[in-house]
Amino acid sequence: MKELIRQKAVALGFDACFVTGADRPDHAEAFEQWLADGRNGEMQWLARNAPKRVDPQLVLPGARSIVCLAASYHRAEGSSGPIARYARFDDYHDVLASRLVELTAYIDAASDDASTRSLWYVDTGPLLERDLAQRAGLGFVGKHTNLIGRTLGNWFFLSEIITTLALEPDVPEKNRCGSCTKCLTACPTNALPAPFTLDARRCISYLTIELKGSIPVELRPLIGNHVYGCDDCLAACPWNRFAREASIMKSVVRTELDQPDLLELLTLDDTAFKKRFAGSPILRTKRRGLLRNVCVVLGNTGDLGVLAALEKAVADPEPLIAEHATWATAEILKRNSARAPLG
């Protein structure tokens, strides 16, 4: 039965399919301590559903197995840029959903037990998905706390189907980082203070996506040119030499987001923002969040030629945008003043 499910998953375009049991995740206590230390920042939803994350039986009573799936988003031509690689496609939640619905229905229909129940999630359910995926053998959690697949590198999405159907678990994967610390040294904000330890409050992905208010002033210069998310620790991983070209996601790539025009983004009103990013994960930041980020990047990388655009942003009715545009203007003026010749 497990092999039939795996074959169906591959036929649907998934790049990997592994199975683990529906018992308590191996690193549940570490997750609970991470929350107790406040390293989740403003992501309070992680704390609210923490009991379910450490006990799959609270997600689906009677669950016996969890099917862990991977879908690559690797593009050979999609190199580093101001927008994280995963967001340069249509929203993966929507893209993967129809395939997960079909695979879940297949599992329920193929079971000999008519009472079999299964639920699917794509980065949306209260499951410690990286922990479970490692136990299933799909990959191993690296020192950057992301999952690494030996045949996928870092560049893939995870999704799960939790089911009451009993399936033979696959062999857990072991950590294969060795002595490598490239991901730790690649982080611009020291959000990885130790191996396997993430302080989300300093992570650029958190600061540019999950954080809804002002970005701490001391961290703004460290954001560099990152407008939405950050791939620095992922890109540093040597296992990416085995990355597999996207299958499911390749038909929904948005190449215009590889190197977007930041000044053009700064002109978007709310209607234009929603139209421009319809069906994209970037909608999560809302206009106020994205333009906040654009202002920070311009403050870090812009020259005097962007001041006119920032001047308009300073007058934006959204206080969050105006605040960061004011900061960016001051940074550019300070930088150019320091370069001005004496006398």
Give the amino acid at 72.
S
Alpha helices (H) in 220-341, listed in sequence order: 232-235, 262-265, 270-276, 286-301, 307-314, 319-339
Which residue among the candidates 90, 123, 170, 258 is catalytic per the annotation?
A: 123
**Structural element, H or E, at residue 96:** helix 92-110
Compute the distance between CA of residue 268 and CA of residue 266 in angstroms, rounded to an integer: 6
- Residue 204: count other Cβ atoms within 10 Å of its Cβ: 25
Q: Which two tokens stand for residue 252?
A: 């929904």
Contacts for 309 with CB less than 8 Å, ≥ 6 apart: 263, 266, 267, 298
- Cα separation, 19 vs 22, whole angstroms: 9
Distance (Å, rounded) from C-alpha 134 to C-alpha 301? 39
Is residue 123 part of the annotated active site? The answer reads: yes
Is residue 72 within a helix (H) or strand (E), and if so which, with residue range? strand 65-72
CA-to-CA distance for 287 and 276, rounded, in angstroms?
Answer: 11
Residue numbers annotated as active site: 123
